Structure 1
Amino acid sequence: MAITLEPIGIVRGGRAEAVDDGWGNVEADIVLDPARLKPEATLGLASFSHVVVVFHMHKVAEDKVETGARHPRERTDWPRLGILAQPARSRPNRIGVTPVSLVSVDGLTLRVRGLDAIDGTPVLDIKPWIPGFAPRGVVREPTWVRDLMQGYW
């Protein structure tokens, strides 16, 4: 079964290159497409402090997509893991999902901070961050993830 998605917007500004760390203070605009969304699509969004951005990592070449296992960031001191057990860019559908700070809303333009997507990235969806949808119960993660995330934001 094939699924076809059309972007609802595009990332403008921020970084031009996808690098692994230091995304926390990066600000960018998400310019939503007026051909896809009505002006009132963002009505009420500014009352939220954070949104979740779903985007397509379009610069990852098809031949770089991983469908098996590898070491995160090619670090052999971290375990070899299946691609679905790590937050890599080279995922099968190259989909990114990141909760970000919502700085401002101006019509169909959102200013966000902490989006780990580069200038020109197609945005597939935006949802308000609602803590009630966050994981319930104890969250566990392996030690290597804490190491990986240490400088990410």
Structure 2
Amino acid sequence: MATYEVEPIATVIGGHTRVQDDYQGGVESIIRLDDAFPLETLQGVEEFSHLTVTWHFHLARPEDVQLHARSPRGNPIWPATGTFVHRNHRRPNQLAISYPRLLKTDGRDLVVTDLDAVDGTPILDIAPYFAQMGPRGPVHQPAWPGEMLATYWLDASERP
């Protein structure tokens, strides 16, 4: 199998300070572009409402990877599903994709909200979200993701 080496292009500054499952909404953070990239690489990004951000679960360890079927969040009422049916750090490459709302730009800083990565997270890629590149046709899924994520985007200030 081929191996790919990827260098972070940016870092998350501020926002969430610890990993948590729910109450991810309403928190502002900054995606700070590395100095190695000219500012013009961000030219025009402020015209978009949302970004597609690929990031690394940098606080996870390689031994966290689990290559077997298991119930989401360890909850036995939800069916055991395979590794590639989960969206957590237990995936082989420990990568995530988020779609934060872009609030403003300030030089190398992209000020966003609703980014579910923590302070210090390495960002591997940034792109604007194009509605035309989203899913085509009807989207369907089983009931358990909706149940599991019912409080995921609730405002962090409401966390019990």
Tell me which interval the TM-score lies in, with the shorter structure as reference length: over 0.9
- Which whole-Å CA distance do the structure 2 matches of 1:39 and 1:134 have between them? 27
Q: Which one has a larger percent strand, Structure 1 or Structure 2?
A: 1
Q: Which amino acid aligns with 1:108?
A: R
TM-score, reference length from structure 1: 0.97
The residue matched to 1:81 in structure 2 has which SS? coil
The percentage of counterpart residues that share the same residue type is 38
2:111 and 2:24 map into 1 onto residues whose CA distance is 15
- Cα pair 2:55 2:124 within 8 Å, conserved: yes
Q: Which consecutive unaligned segments of at least 5 residues does structure 2 have?
A: 154-160
Query: What is the match of residue 21 of structure 1?
Result: 22
Matched letter for residue 146 of structure 2: R
- Alignment partners' CA distance in 2, 1:38 and 1:70: 44
Alignment of 1:1-153 (within 5 A): 1-35=2-36, 37-153=37-153
Corresponding residue SS for 2:100: strand
Matches of 1:72 and 1:88 in 2, distance apart? 10
For 1:93 and 1:65, how far apart are their aligned partners in 2? Answer: 9
Q: Report the CA distance between 1:71 and its aligned residue.
A: 1.1
RMSD of equivalent CA atoms = 0.8
User: 1:14 is matched by which residue type in structure 2?
Assistant: G
Following superposition, the deviation at residue 27 of structure 1 comes to 1.1
Paired residue secondary structure (2:3): coil
Which amino acid in 2 is paired with 1:139?
V
Q: Is the 8 A contact 1:72 1:88 kept in 2?
A: no
* TM-score, scaled to structure 2: 0.92
1:49-74 per-residue CA deviation (whole Å, 9 max, x = no partner) reads 00011000011111111122211111
Shift of 1:89: 2.1
Deviations 1:64-100 (A, max 9, x none): 1112221111111110000111222211101010111
Residues in 2 aligned to 1:26 and 1:65: alpha-carbon distance in whole angstroms: 28
Query: Following the alignment from structure 2 to structure 1, what is the Cα–Cα distance between the partners of residues 55 and 18?
Result: 15
Q: Which runs of 4+ in 1 moved over 4 A?
A: none
Q: Distance in 1 between matches of 2:133 and 2:84?
A: 21
